[in-house]
Amino acid sequence: MSQQFVPNNPLPQGAKVPEEVAVFSPEVEAEIDRHLSKYPVMRSAILPLMFIVQRERGGPTSRSASASASPTSGRSPPSTR
Protein backbone atom coordinates (compact mmCIF):
# COMPACT_ATOMS: atom_id res chain seq x y z
CA MET A 1 0.00 0.00 0.00
CA SER A 2 2.96 2.30 -0.47
CA GLN A 3 1.92 3.40 -3.96
CA GLN A 4 -0.19 6.52 -4.35
CA PHE A 5 -2.66 6.42 -7.24
CA VAL A 6 -2.60 9.52 -9.45
CA PRO A 7 -5.54 9.64 -11.88
CA ASN A 8 -4.66 10.58 -15.44
CA ASN A 9 -8.15 11.91 -16.10
CA PRO A 10 -9.64 13.29 -12.86
CA LEU A 11 -13.34 14.09 -12.75
CA PRO A 12 -14.21 17.76 -13.28
CA GLN A 13 -16.30 18.02 -10.10
CA GLY A 14 -14.72 18.04 -6.66
CA ALA A 15 -14.89 14.94 -4.51
CA LYS A 16 -16.55 15.07 -1.09
CA VAL A 17 -14.41 12.77 1.02
CA PRO A 18 -15.65 12.06 4.55
CA GLU A 19 -13.27 12.66 7.43
CA GLU A 20 -13.81 9.07 8.62
CA VAL A 21 -10.86 6.78 7.97
CA ALA A 22 -11.44 3.05 7.79
CA VAL A 23 -9.57 0.97 10.33
CA PHE A 24 -9.19 -2.73 9.62
CA SER A 25 -7.61 -5.57 11.57
CA PRO A 26 -4.07 -6.66 10.64
CA GLU A 27 -5.56 -9.79 9.04
CA VAL A 28 -7.83 -7.73 6.79
CA GLU A 29 -4.95 -5.35 5.94
CA ALA A 30 -2.90 -8.41 4.89
CA GLU A 31 -5.80 -9.62 2.73
CA ILE A 32 -6.02 -6.19 1.10
CA ASP A 33 -2.28 -6.20 0.43
CA ARG A 34 -2.56 -9.67 -1.17
CA HIS A 35 -5.28 -8.42 -3.53
CA LEU A 36 -3.33 -5.28 -4.41
CA SER A 37 -0.24 -7.33 -5.22
CA LYS A 38 -2.18 -9.47 -7.74
CA TYR A 39 -3.00 -6.58 -10.07
CA PRO A 40 -0.40 -4.61 -12.07
CA VAL A 41 -2.91 -1.74 -12.36
CA MET A 42 -4.00 -0.85 -8.83
CA ARG A 43 -7.52 0.24 -9.81
CA SER A 44 -8.20 -3.30 -11.05
CA ALA A 45 -8.31 -4.44 -7.43
CA ILE A 46 -11.30 -2.23 -6.56
CA LEU A 47 -13.93 -5.01 -6.78
CA PRO A 48 -12.14 -7.37 -4.40
CA LEU A 49 -11.51 -4.40 -2.07
CA MET A 50 -15.19 -3.43 -2.15
CA PHE A 51 -16.16 -7.02 -1.29
CA ILE A 52 -13.85 -6.85 1.71
CA VAL A 53 -15.39 -3.55 2.84
CA GLN A 54 -18.88 -4.99 2.40
CA ARG A 55 -17.98 -8.07 4.43
CA GLU A 56 -16.32 -6.03 7.19
CA ARG A 57 -19.02 -3.35 7.34
CA GLY A 58 -21.83 -5.90 7.27
CA GLY A 59 -23.86 -4.79 4.30
CA PRO A 60 -23.98 -3.40 0.79
CA THR A 61 -21.36 -0.82 0.03
CA SER A 62 -22.51 2.77 0.00
CA ARG A 63 -20.75 5.98 -0.94
CA SER A 64 -19.28 6.17 2.57
CA ALA A 65 -18.09 2.57 2.26
CA SER A 66 -16.46 3.49 -1.04
CA ALA A 67 -14.65 6.22 0.81
CA SER A 68 -13.58 3.65 3.39
CA ALA A 69 -11.89 1.60 0.68
CA SER A 70 -10.35 4.63 -0.95
CA PRO A 71 -7.51 5.35 1.48
CA THR A 72 -6.52 1.73 1.20
CA SER A 73 -6.45 1.73 -2.56
CA GLY A 74 -5.19 5.28 -2.91
CA ARG A 75 -8.21 6.37 -4.93
CA SER A 76 -10.78 9.06 -4.42
CA PRO A 77 -14.44 7.99 -3.93
CA PRO A 78 -15.77 9.10 -7.34
CA SER A 79 -13.22 6.96 -9.16
CA THR A 80 -14.25 3.86 -7.19
CA ARG A 81 -17.87 4.05 -8.33
- Annotate 51-62 with three-state secondary structure: HHHHHHHCCCCC
Give the per-residue pLDDT at 80: 47
Residues 18-48 as b/e (b if ≥16 CB within 10 A, e otherwise) read eeeebeeeeebeebbeebbeeeeebeebbeb
Question: How are the residues of the chain apportioned to helix, strand and coil, as percentages rounded to the nearest 5?
Answer: 55, 0, 45
Give the per-residue pLDDT at 1: 53
Give the per-residue pLDDT at 58: 81
pLDDT mean for each 10 residues of the chain (81 residues): 64 70 89 92 90 85 55 49 45
Give the per-residue pLDDT at 77: 46
